[in-house]
C-alpha cells in the first residue's frame, strides 16, 4: 500500500490528471491603449470555457508591452484551443470578426513563431483571408518579410489583420481538484493556485476566474446527456452516493482546468498550483488535492500528482 503524501498537512492523492490532444494558436491583439486591447481580448475569450459546449477554450495569456508587439502598440496575448484544425479556424474567424474587428483601434497578429515554437507545428489557419471580405472590395493586402497582412477600412481608420496564423498541436484538460473544509478555504486556495499558474507562459485556465465548481463525469442517467455532475466530489451527496470520494469534513471542492501549448507547460502549471495551495495547508482548510481522470481512456497525457509534487517544499508527513 502506498504511504500517504502530505505537504503542510494537505494530502496529495495518489492519482493523476488525464489530458488530451488539442489544436491551439496564439493571437496578439493590439490597440491604441491597453484598455482597448483588453476589451477586445475579453470579448474574444467570452463563452469559451469548454469545447463541449463552446466550440473552443480560450483565455488571456498575458499583457504585452508596446516594444513586444508587431506594430509597437500595447497588446494582449490570447490562446485559443479546439479539438480540430477545422474547428479552430472556424472559431478564429467568428471571434475575431465579431470581437476584434468591431473593437475601436484594434489590430490582430499571429503570436506563434514557427522558428522558435516548442509546441509541434500543425498547419496555418485562415484569419485575414476570411475577414478581408468585410472591406467590400476596398480592402488591400501587403507583404512584409514574407507575411501577408490585410488592411480593411473601418470607421475609425483601418483594421489590420494577419492573413493566416500558425497553429500547433497542444494539450487540453490538465486539472486539479482542491478539496477543502469550507467555501472560504476552497476559494482562497484555488485563487492562489490560479494566480501562480497565470504567472507562467503558454497556459490558460479557461473557466470563470480560472475555477470550475461544476466538475463533471462522463454519462448520465438521462438519455442523451453526455455529461453530468461529478457526484463523487459533491459534498452535499456525501453519504448518499456510493461513488463518494469525500468525508463529512469536506464542505467544498473546486477544480482548475489547464490548457497548455505543450505537455511540459501543463505539468509546470499544475506544479505551481500545488505549491500555492499547499503553502496554505491544512490549517487554512486545504484538506486534499486530487485530480480527474477517466482511467487512462480519454487521452494520452497523464500527470501523476505525486510526481508533480516531488519538488514541492513544506512540511511532509
Residue whose C-alpha is closest to residue 261's, from 165, 172, 164:
172
Kindly report, residue by residue over 112-144, the tens digit of the pLDDT.
Answer: 999 999 999 999 999 999 999 999 999 999 999
The CA distance from 21 to 246, in Å, is 30
- pLDDT for residue 204: 98
**Are the C-beta atoms of 57 and 83 separated by less than 8 Å?**
no
Domains of the chain: 5-19+170-308 (3.30.70.520), 23-168 (3.30.70.520)
Name residue 156's beta-bridge partners: none
- pLDDT for residue 22: 97
Kindly report, residue by residue over 177-199, the tens digit of the pLDDT.
Answer: 999 999 999 999 999 999 999 99
Name the band, by pLDDT with cuts 50, 70 and 90, for residue 70.
very high
Answer yes or no: is pLDDT of 67 > 80: yes
Instruction: Please report, rounded to a whole number, the percentage of residues in the chain having pLDDT higher than 70.
Output: 99
Instruction: Please report, rounded to a whole number, the percentage of residues in the chain having pLDDT higher than 90.
Output: 91
Residue whose C-alpha is closest to residue 35's, from 109, 106, 108, 110:
106
The cell numbers describing 79, all together, are: 490562446
Answer yes or no: is pLDDT of 168 > 70: yes
CA dihedral for 31, 36, 41, 47, sign (positive or negative): negative
- Are β-strands 10-12 and 286-290 bridged in parallel, bridged antiparallel, or unpaired? parallel
Answer yes or no: is pLDDT of 229 > 60: yes
Answer yes or no: is pLDDT of 176 > 80: yes
Q: Strands, DSSP E only, in 131-250?
A: 140-144, 147-154, 157-162, 164-180, 203-204, 216-218, 227-229
- pLDDT for residue 296: 81
**Are the C-beta atoms of 8 and 94 separated by less than 8 Å?**
no
- pLDDT for residue 2: 65
- Are β-strands 140-144 and 216-218 bridged in parallel, bridged antiparallel, or unpaired? unpaired
CA dihedral for 173, 179, 184, 189, sign (positive or negative): negative
- pLDDT for residue 138: 98
* This prediction's pTM: 0.95
- Which comes out higher in pLDDT, residue 314 or 82? 82
The cell numbers describing 315, all together, are: 512540511
Amino acid at each position: 500500500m502506498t504511504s500517504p503524501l502530505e505537504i503542510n498537512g494537505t494530502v496529495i492523492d495518489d492519482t493523476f490528471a488525464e489530458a488530451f490532444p488539442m489544436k491551439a494558436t496564439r493571437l496578439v491583439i493590439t490597440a491604441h491603449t491597453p484598455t482597448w486591447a483588453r476589451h477586445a481580448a475579453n470579448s474574444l475569450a467570452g463563452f469559451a470555457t469548454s469545447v463541449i459546449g463552446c466550440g473552443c477554450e480560450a483565455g488571456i495569456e498575458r499583457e504585452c508591452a508596446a516594444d513586444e508587439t508587431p506594430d509597437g502598440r500595447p497588446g494582449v496575448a490570447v490562446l485559443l484551443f479546439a479539438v480540430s484544425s477545422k474547428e479552430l479556424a472556424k472559431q478564429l474567424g467568428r471571434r475575431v470578426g465579431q470581437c476584434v474587428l468591431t473593437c475601436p483601434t484594434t489590430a490582430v497578429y499571429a503570436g506563434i513563431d514557427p522558428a522558435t515554437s516548442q509546441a509541434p507545428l500543425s498547419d496555418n489557419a485562415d484569419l485575414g483571408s476570411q475577414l478581408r471580405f468585410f472591406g467590400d472590395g476596398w480592402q488591400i493586402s501587403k507583404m512584409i518579410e514574407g507575411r501577408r497582412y490585410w488592411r480593411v477600412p473601418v470607421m475609425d481608420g483601418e483594421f489590420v489583420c494577419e492573413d493566416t496564423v500558425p497553429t500547433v498541436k497542444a494539450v487540453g484538460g490538465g486539472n486539479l481538484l482542491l478539496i477543502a473544509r469550507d467555501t472560504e478555504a476552497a476559494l482562497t486556495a484555488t485563487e492562489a493556485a490560479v494566480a501562480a499558474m497565470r504567472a507562467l507562459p503558454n497556459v490558460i485556465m479557461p473557466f470563470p476566474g480560472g475555477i470550475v465548481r461544476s466538475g463533471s463525469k462522463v454519462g448520465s442517467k438521462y438519455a442523451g446527456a453526455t455529461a453530468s455532475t461529478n457526484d463523487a466530489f459533491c459534498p452535499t451527496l456525501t453519504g448518499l452516493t456510493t461513488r463518494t470520494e469525500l468525508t463529512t469534513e469536506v464542505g467544498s471542492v473546486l477544480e482548475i482546468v489547464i490548457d497548455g501549448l505543450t505537455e511540459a507547460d501543463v505539468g509546470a502549471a499544475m506544479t505551481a498550483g500545488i505549491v500555492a495551495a499547499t503553502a496554505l495547508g491544512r490549517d487554512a482548510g486545504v484538506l486534499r488535492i486530487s485530480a480527474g481522470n477517466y482511467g487512462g481512456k480519454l487521452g494520452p497525457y497523464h500527470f501523476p500528482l505525486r510526481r508533480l509534487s516531488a519538488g514541492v517544499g513544506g512540511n511532509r508527513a
